């Protein structure tokens, strides 16, 4: 997580513009046949479950 926070801080200080909000870091992993949100730096983002079907 430290590397992710380091990248987010870099973007916030050096790339984003004043009118932009701070960066949000997420880590999404594939476990078996599912994608799982393992980490999110913003408490306003939460996990939920979706089912995807091939048509």
Residue 28 pairs with which residues in a beta bridge? 37
Residue 35 pairs with which residues in a beta bridge? 30
pLDDT number for residue 34: 83
pLDDT one-digit tens code per residue, 16-52:
999 999 899 999 999 888 888 889 999 888 777 777 7
pLDDT number for residue 37: 86
Domain boundaries, the chain: 2-40
List the structure tokens of 55. Answer: 């048509």
Query: What DSSP assignment string belongs to 6-49?
Result: HHHHHHHHHTS-TTSPPP--EEEEEETTEEEEEEES-TT-----
């Amino acid at each position: 997580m430290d590397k992710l926070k380091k990248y987010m801080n870099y973007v916030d200080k050096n790339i984003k513009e004043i009118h932009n909000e701070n960066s949000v870091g997420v880590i999404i992993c594939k476990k078996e046949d599912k994608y799982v949100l393992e980490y999110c730096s913003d408490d306003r983002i939460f996990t939920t479950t979706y089912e995807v079907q091939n048509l």
